Amino acid sequence: MDGNTPILVGGAQLVQRDADPVEALDPIAMLERVSREAAEVAGGGAQLLADADTVAVVDIIAWGANNAPGLLAEKILASPAHELVTGIGGETPLVLVNELANRIAAGESRIAVVAGCNNLKTIRSAVKAGVELNWQTGGRGEPAMIGSRRLGNSEIETRYGLASPTSVYPIFENALRAHRGLDLEAHRVRLGALMSSFTEVAAKNPYAWFPTVRSAEELTTASARNRMIAFPYTKYLNAVLDTDQAAGVVMMSVDAARAHGIPEDRWIYWWGGAHAEERAWYASERPNFAESAALRAAAQSALGNAGIVIGDIELIDFYSCFPVAVEMACEMLVLDEADPRGLTLTGGLPYGGGPANNYTLHSLATALDRLRDGPQRRALVTGNGWYLTKHSATVLSSEPRSGDFEPAAEVDVSGEADPVGLREAADGAAVVETYTVLYGRDGAPERGIVIGRLDDDGTRFIANTPNDREDLEQFVAVENVGRSGKVQVRDDMNRFEPG
């Protein structure tokens, strides 16, 4: 075995439920705790952290630290040559881990500490209670960035209401349902069955934010506790941002592990990784709302780098901010949603938690435990940023890989279909490509959003529907993908009315 073979030797997670904002751990305290626990799990302790030459932190929303990895390095008494921070996106932790695997294999790093957290529950509680959070935000120097901070929405999308994950992911869900030929009721039943299985996993996960089993019917039926957010998703089908959670892992070379006396039963081998971006950055410009070429490319390339196929994997964790992210992964990799291996290790984002950018560190930490303690030998973890826009994948194994090391890289999808341009002012007969309806906190429908094509030249447009409650209730009661109607400009906005 090459001495620079990259391995993961420890992972740790933290969940902080219902903490008083005055007493709650701040981000740097959470990062320090999971880093120390990961080093203890590895069998290396404080000295392993102190010897780290790389400290990396996943971007933490709502915490404006000048140099988060620098602050963490101070806490763990490390003097790293490399301080890294990620850009925005749920794919970034795996991109980071894959990059570090490349660096370790190239001899550019020997020991790397990677951590991230989410603190929005404490932040919201503090605002509500009028408590000022005096969190440390310093850190000397400037870390190098892995990824980017490019925003995911266009101006025109935001203007029509496609402004957040809760409104954008449903347009993919509805398109995929129609592509599969499912009627509304069959689709609802299928959604419930898929995500109910995720709640069963979350209920057994000690780090899950919502460790509660819920039935398929409970998940998909609108109620006072489970209001509609955006058709067809109820609240229980949405990832929840308000959690306090953290996760971290320690990576190193085989030679460094031997030098630090890390037992071989702690070693989990990095076998392969990849990442890719859709050619159409903005969701409204995707050539096909029922397909994700970059997701397929990232996962298949990671498996290819590892020298295996999806059938060789025993443990799977697909990124799961919304049901369609899981369904799309199955669609692109030709898997049954009822695959007996299961599709989540944590319970997924709606139930296991780990929102914002850090979910896949929770996935990795869980995968490390499962690979060490069970008969399973190989795991595939995937990540997703923005709106099925950016994708990453990592393959791990409890056994060393045969064959030469294959470095992780960004997969080129330039051969895929071109982005679709939008007509800002649309007029004429048209047909719906996909759609959703947004709901208010009282459970009433408030705004219909349609992406469609003009009949005369096939040009794509975004429009709102009339916002009359009765009209909107009728609109969501039937399948609208493929429905004809008329679009015209009113008050400088496209308005679509079904025929």
Q: In the prediction, which pLDDT does 40 show?
A: 98
Average confidence score pLDDT of the chain? 97
Banded pLDDT at 158 (limits 50, 70, 90): very high
Q: In the prediction, which pLDDT does 421 show?
A: 95
Asked if residue 164 is part of any domain, the answer here is no
Q: In the prediction, which pLDDT does 39 show?
A: 98
Domains in the chain: how many in total? Answer: 2
Q: What is the 3-state secondary structure (H, E, C) of the chain?
A: CCCCCEEEEEEEEEECCCCCCCCCCCHHHHHHHHHHHHHHHHCCHHHHHHCCCEEEECCCCCCCCCCHHHHHHHHCCCCCCEEEEECCCCCHHHHHHHHHHHHHHCCCCCEEEEEEEEEHHHHHHHHHHCCCCCCCCCCCCCCEEECCCCCCCCHHHHHHCCCCHHHHHHHHHHHHHHHCCCCHHHHHHHHHHHHHHHHHHHCCCCCCCCCCCCCHHHHHCCCCCCCEEECCEEHHHCCCCCCEEEEEEEEEEHHHHHHCCCCHHHCEEEEEEEEEECCCCCHHHCCCCCCCHHHHHHHHHHHHHHCCCHHHCCEEECCCCCHHHHHHHHHHHCCCCCCCCCCCCCCCCCCCCCCCCCHHHHHHHHHHHHHHHCCCCEEEEEEEECCCCEEEEEEEECCCCCCCCCCCEECCCCCCCCCCCECCCCCEEEEEEEEEEEECCCCCEEEEEEEEEECCCCCEEEEECCCCHHHHHHHCCCCCCCCEEEEEEECCEEEEEEC
Whether 481 and 439 share a structural domain: yes
Q: In the prediction, which pLDDT does 284 show?
A: 98
Q: In the prediction, which pLDDT does 309 show?
A: 97
Asked if residue 161 is part of any domain, the answer here is no
Q: In the prediction, which pLDDT does 112 show?
A: 98
Tokens at 343, concatenated: 């599709």
Q: In the prediction, which pLDDT does 306 show?
A: 96
pLDDT tens-digit readout, 266-290: 999 999 999 999 999 999 999 999 9
pLDDT tens-digit readout, 374-416: 888 999 999 999 999 999 999 999 999 988 999 999 999 999 9
Q: Give this prediction's pTM.
A: 0.96
> Mean per-residue pLDDT for 459-468?
97
> Mean per-residue pLDDT for 163-191?
98
Asked if residue 199 is part of any domain, the answer here is no
Q: In the prediction, which pLDDT does 26 show?
A: 96
Banded pLDDT at 138 (limits 50, 70, 90): confident
Statement: residue 1 has pLDDT above 90: no
Whether 351 and 395 share a structural domain: yes
Q: In the prediction, which pLDDT does 305 show?
A: 95
Whether 75 and 118 share a structural domain: yes
pLDDT tens-digit readout, 80-122: 999 999 999 999 999 999 999 999 999 999 999 999 999 999 9
Statement: residue 126 has pLDDT above 90: yes
Whether 323 and 433 share a structural domain: no
Banded pLDDT at 62 (limits 50, 70, 90): confident
Whether 249 and 112 share a structural domain: yes
> Mean per-residue pLDDT for 34-39?
98
Asked if residue 236 is part of any domain, the answer here is no
Q: In the prediction, which pLDDT does 18 show?
A: 85
> Mean per-residue pLDDT for 24-34?
97
Statement: residue 455 has pLDDT above 90: yes
Whether 389 and 482 share a structural domain: no
pLDDT tens-digit readout, 412-438: 999 999 999 999 999 999 999 999 999
pLDDT tens-digit readout, 200-214: 999 999 999 999 999
Whether 18 and 143 share a structural domain: yes
CATH number, domain of 288, equals 3.40.47.10
Whether 433 and 404 share a structural domain: no
CATH number, domain of 485, equals 2.40.50.840
Statement: residue 470 has pLDDT above 90: yes
Whether 435 and 391 share a structural domain: no
Whether 137 and 68 share a structural domain: yes
Name the residue range of residue 346's domain: 6-152+241-410
Whether 136 and 258 share a structural domain: yes
> Mean per-residue pLDDT for 459-476?
96
378, 410, 442 - which closes a domain: 410
Asked if residue 186 is part of any domain, the answer here is no
Q: Judging by beta carbons within 10 Å of its beta carbon (0-12, 13-18, 19+), is residue 176 exposed, middle or buried?
A: buried
Whether 390 and 437 share a structural domain: no
Statement: residue 348 has pLDDT above 90: yes
Q: In the prediction, which pLDDT does 209 show?
A: 98
